[in-house]
Amino acid sequence: MEFVQDNILNLVIFFPLLASFVLMLLPGDAKNTVRRLALVFSLVPLLLVIFMWLNYDRFDAGMQFEYRHEWLPLLGSSFHVGVDGISLTMLLLTTILTPLAILASFGIEERVNIYMALFLLMETAMLGLFASLDLMIFFIFWEFGLIPMYFLIKIWGGKDRDYASFKFIVYTMAGSLGLLLAIQLIGLSTGTFDIIQLMDTWVNLPAGGVLPNTSLSVDTVKTLAFWAFFVAFAIKIPIWPFHTWLPDAHTQAPTAGSMILAGVLLKLGAYGFLRLVIPLFPEHAYLTAGILATLGMLSVVLGGYAAFGQWDFKRLVAYSSVNHMGFVVLGLAVFAFVYGRADQFVDPKVTNDAITAANGAVFQMFNHGLSAAGMFFLVGVIYERTHTRDLKLYGGIWSVLQVYGGILIFTSMASLGLPGLNGFVSEFLVVAGSWDIFTVQLALSMLGLFLTGAYILKAIGQTLHGPIKEEWRGLPHMTIREHLVIWPLMILMLTLGIWPQWVLVYINDTVTRILA
C-alpha cells in the first residue's frame, strides 16, 4: 500500500505501457480475450485516478502526488511528475475516455492485440504528459503520443487514411520541431528542464541581458522560444488557421481513435498553453493575448461555418471540435492577458474575469472531451449500420432507432451548450470572463455560437428527421455494449450540467492560486 501511495502517479502513467506489452504478446486470434483484457487493463488507471481524486487536498498549494527521480543530472533533467487541479481533471478525462474507447472498439476484427496495445500506449503518453513537470519528459510523452495515433489511422482508418495520417503526423511534428529547439535552448541556458524551477529561473532572466551559457540575447531567444511553443501547441489545439489536419484525421480515424483524438489529444495543446506557454512567457503572453483571442474567435466562427457546410457527418463533428476549442482558446487568451501582468492589475474585477474565463476554458476542455467523444461514438454507431456518413443519404432514422435518436439528440444538445448540460456551464464561464477584456472578439464569437446551433440541428435533422427511407428500415438497435459506452458519458454530461462543482472546485482552486 505504501508503495502504491508513494508511486501512484507512476503506476497510473506506466501501467498502460506494461499492459500494452502484455497485449502485444498475446496471440492475435484470441480476439475476445484481448478485448476484455484490454478493457480491464484500461480500468485500472481509472480506479487509481479516482483514488487520487478523492485524496486530493484542495488546500495544498503546490503539486500533489509528486515523484522525482534523477535522470540526466548533467543536463538538469529528471523524471518529475505531479498534479494540480488542472492536470488531475485532465487525467480523469483521459482515464474515463480510454476504457470507453476500448469498449467502443470491440467491433474491430483485424490485429486486435496491436490495436488495443496502441491505445494503451497512447494512454501512457497522454497521462504522462499531463503529469509531467519536466520539459524533456513532457516532450518525450508529447512525441510518443503521435506514433500510436498515426498507426491507428493508417491501419484501421477510412478511405483516405494514408493522406490523413501522414498529414496529421507531419504537421504536428513540424510544430514540435520548434518546440524541441526551444526546450533545448531553455534547458541549456538555465541548466535545468524542471518546469517548477523554470517558472522562477527562466521567467526572471534579466530582460536586456545575455542568455547564460550562450551568447544570445535574452529577448530574442525568449521571443523565438515563445513563438516556437505557441505554434507547436496552436497546431495541436487546433487554432485557426492551423486546423486543417483535424478534419481529415478525425474523419479517417476509426471511431475510437476519433474519440480519443477529439477527446484528449486536442486538450494536450490547450494544456501546453496553460502549463508552459503562459507561465513561462508572461510578458509575451500578455502582448499576444489579443492575437490569441482573435484567433480563438476565428476558430469559433470559421469552424462553425465550416461545420455547417459539411455533408459528411463525421467531418461535421470534426469541425465542431474546432468550433468548441475556439472557446477554450478565448478563455486562454483572457488568462494570458491577466497572468502576464498579474503584478500590475490591482483591479480585482479583471482578476476575477480571468479566473472565470480560465475556469471556463479548463472545464470546457473536460466537457468537450466528453461530448465530442460521445458524438464521434454515435457517428460510429450509425456508420456501422448504414456504412455511409453522407447526411444526404440519411433520413427518418428516428422512426427505426428511437432510442438512438434520443441519445443522439441528448449528446448533440450537450455539444450545443444547452443549459442543464455541461457544455453550457463552461461556455457561459468563458463568455462571462471574456466580456470585459475581449469584448469585440467575444461579440463576433457569438456568430459562431449561433452557427453551432445551425450545424447541430442540421446533423440531427438530416439523420433522424424526415420520412423513413426504405434502405434504413431494418437497422438493428443499439446493443448493450454500445449503451455501456454512451451512458457514462451522458450521465456525466447531465450531472456536470446541473452540479458542476465537483470538478469545477478543483479547477477553480488551482486557477485562483495561479492568478492570485
Q: Which residues are CB-neighbours of 483 under 8 A, at least 6 positions away?
A: none
85 scored as a contact of other proteins (CB under 8 A): no
203 scored as a contact of other proteins (CB under 8 A): no
* DSSP state, residue 257: H
Q: Which is nearer to other proteins, 42 or 510 (CB)?
A: 510
Segment 36-75, which members bind other proteins (CB under 8 A)? Answer: none
- The interface mask with other proteins, positions 437-456, x = CB under 8 A, is -----xx--xx-xxx-xx--
Give whole-number Cα distances, 368 to 294, 360, 363, in Å: 21, 11, 8
Q: Which is nearer to other proteins, 457 or 478 (CB)?
A: 457
208 scored as a contact of other proteins (CB under 8 A): no
Q: d(Cα 186, Cα 221) in Å, to the nearest integer?
A: 9
Q: d(Cα 83, Cα 52) in Å, to the nearest integer?
A: 10
* Shortest distance in whole angstroms from residue 343 CB to other proteins: 18
Q: How far from the centroid of its chain's Cα atoms is residue 166's Cα?
A: 21
Contact 174, 117 (CB under 8 A): no
464 scored as a contact of other proteins (CB under 8 A): yes
396 scored as a contact of other proteins (CB under 8 A): yes
For other proteins, the binding residue among 418, 489, 492, 493 (CB under 8 A) is 418
Query: What spatial distance separates the first Cα and last Cα of the chain, rounded to whole Å?
Result: 36
CB burial readout 218-240, b (16+ within 10 A) else e: beebbeebbbbbbbbbbbbbbbb
144 scored as a contact of other proteins (CB under 8 A): no
- The interface mask with other proteins, positions 397-416, x = CB under 8 A, is -xx--x---x--x---x---
Stretch that binds other proteins, among 91-99, 259-267, 270-278, 349-357 (CB under 8 A): 349-357
468 scored as a contact of other proteins (CB under 8 A): yes
* Shortest distance in whole angstroms from residue 501 CB to other proteins: 6
Q: Which is nearer to other proteins, 135 or 496 (CB)?
A: 496
Position 225: which residue type? A
Stretch that binds other proteins, among 119-127, 204-212, 372-380, 417-425 (CB under 8 A): 417-425
Task: Using alpha carbons, select from 317, 316, 260 the residue that is nearest to residue 104.
Answer: 260
31 scored as a contact of other proteins (CB under 8 A): no
Contact 416, 452 (CB under 8 A): yes
How many residues touch other proteins under the rule CB under 8 A: the total is 63
For other proteins, the binding residue among 120, 508, 510, 514 (CB under 8 A) is 508
356 scored as a contact of other proteins (CB under 8 A): yes
186 scored as a contact of other proteins (CB under 8 A): no
Q: Which residues are CB-neighbours of 54 under 8 A, at least 6 positions away?
A: none
Grid look-up 491505445 returns 119
**63 — phi, psi (to 5°)?**
-75, 150
C-alpha cell at 205: 532572466
Task: Using alpha carbons, select from 16, 94, 83, 14 the residue that is nearest to residue 52.
Answer: 83
Q: d(Cα 400, Cα 417) in Å, to the nearest integer?
A: 27
495 scored as a contact of other proteins (CB under 8 A): no
The residue ranges that bind other proteins (CB under 8 A) are 167, 170-171, 241, 243-244, 247, 302, 305-310, 349, 351-353, 355-356, 359, 396, 398-399, 402, 406, 409, 413, 418-420, 424-425, 428-429, 431-432, 435-436, 442-443, 446-447, 449-451, 453-454, 457-458, 461, 464-468, 500-501, 504-505, 507-508, 512
